[in-house]
Amino acid sequence: MKQETREKLRGVVWLIPLLLIVVLLFMIARPHDSYDYDEPTPATPHNDDTTDTLAISLRPFDPNEADYRTMIEAGVERRIAVSIIRWREAGKIFRIKEDLALCYGMTDSMYFALEPYINIGEEYRPKPVKEYTTTERKRPAIDSTMLRPFSLDSVGTAYLRAIGFTSRQADLVIRYRDMIGGYRTMDEFAECYAVDSTMAARLEPYIIFPEHPAEVAYDRPKITLPVDINSADSATLVSLRGIGPKSVVHILRYRQLLGGYYSTEQLLELSAVTEDNFRLFSSQIYCDSAEIKKICINFASPKELEVHPYLSNRMLRRIINNRELKGGWSTVEEMIEDNIFSDEEAARIAPYLDFGTNPE
């Protein structure tokens, strides 16, 4: 038994040196294997299994077409070449040299070294775009013989088309003229969004405006101040000091959406009305709340409700859902209790609510 144990120990003693020798041989051989796969850089020699040591110099390449070997031979690092190929497979097209600076792994120093050698093919470069305006594309041929002094207040669409307006633009010029009660100055004409600055400058020498606005051929309303903004028409509003033609369009459109104004300060909710302008004309206007068109909140359809500026989508959903459950409300306070409106929201919308029976 003792003899057998001694034999095993002797075997182990011989095995340990053999293992040490194998480990040493592996460590000696490892550097030679890894040396074959050292990653080359453009500034250092590139070693390969089948070639002698070569100095790689940078050469031109197209990142949209060059394959992996071509980029390596051009001096691009392996990881950058792989990144470029992956970008191309994902559908990327390199339009300008700077696109390569965004490749994964690309540093500023690498890009600056490669930049002189990046050659983007003609078919990949951004195409120059001819600059021209929409009016240049759509404007018909101009009859220069028609350009003679004329009054904007008497011309028709046929004449406007002859001097360079499209049919739609001519209609807009006439409609805007009718809405503001006639063009009195060049500024009013230029404010019509169918008139661009080029057209206005070209026509200005030929347009005749009344020397005295009070003597304009069409009838202007006699203004009695203050003016009720719930019943005033565009001609009346534009005659007020501080309200321009563009502001009138916004005021009338918002009045229609709301159903009328209950306070003159509601005009400040419009981007077209500044505080400075409001101070100019606020003393010339007032609101007649009897003119307000109210919403029959217990019976109005979702389509009628959704157009009101003070009713959000959240409020609309709660009105429809709760109305079906309880059948309607008698006061705005009930709607606050049902969490339809907050106190602030209720104060804004209350003048527009009617809790009566179905008008039909």
pLDDT greater than 60 at residue 47: no
> Model confidence at 34, in pLDDT bands (50, 70, 90)?
very low
- Give pTM, 2 decimals: 0.42
286, exposed or middle or buried, with CB in 10 Å at 0-12, 13-18, 19+?
A: middle
pLDDT band, residue 317 (cuts 50/70/90): very high
Please compute the mean of the pLDDT values over residues 24-53 and round it to a whole number. 47
The amino acid that residue 312 corresponds to is S
- Report whether 267 contacts 229 (CB < 8 A): yes
The phi, psi pair for 158, rounded to 5°, reads -60, -45
Residue 291 — pLDDT band, cuts 50, 70, 90? confident
Q: Which of 209, 202, 146, 225 is nearest to 177 (CA)?
A: 209
Residue indicated by tokens 């005659």: 239
201-233: pLDDT as tens digits: 888 888 887 764 444 444 445 667 899 999 999
User: How many CB atoms are located within 10 Å of the residue 14 CB?
Assistant: 9
Longest dimension (CA), the chain: 139
Q: Are 100 and 118 in contact (CB under 8 A)?
A: yes
Q: 328: closest CA among 352, 298, 288?
A: 298
29 pLDDT band (50/70/90 cuts)? Answer: low
Please tell me which residue, 72 or 224, carries the higher pLDDT value: 72
Concatenate the DSSP letters of all residues of 5-38 into one string.
Answer: HHHHHHHHHHHHHHHHHHHHHHHHHHHHHHHTTP
